[in-house]
Chains A and B, each alone.
Chain A
């Protein structure tokens, strides 16, 4: 799986958009970009994934650059409950034994 690089931390004001960047310059053509988050003392939560087109769901939007070497997760209206560690993962579609490997992620702090 390609390596990802994320800033260590960032913060944003409640109600504003949170833009979380991720670099994955060695991504291969068949690798997807996945985002998970982990709120303190809870299990990780799947957020969104994409290959090359921008994706949006009820939780967030994922913007992938045309060269696919970086992406941005956007939380359009951050709330205090969005404070968590966010993990960007790049991996190819694999079988049932695919194991998730989380790096250090980015700690998002949403301030009132």
Chain B
């Protein structure tokens, strides 16, 4: 039972354009969402997060949008750069009282390729 889903395995965009990575979740107990970036044979590095009390969080070129009613979040990268090429993981966490307390549940990942 996949609680966090990234339905697009890959995405290719031109340098300078916008990259939009999508993520859906099923568990309404999730209240904190994070995006991680990962290069091959390395550990994921934290990119940006959003709490369920917000619908948008921005950090430089990266913006995460959260639509709680649709249980959907997206990561926007503007402008996209070749160095952004990596695998992006969406992840969700729940507060205390949930069976997912303390855990981070990951999606399958989306491989982003930014072409020069």
Q: Decide whether A and B are members of one complex.
A: no
Residues of chain B having any CB pair with chain A under 8 Å: none
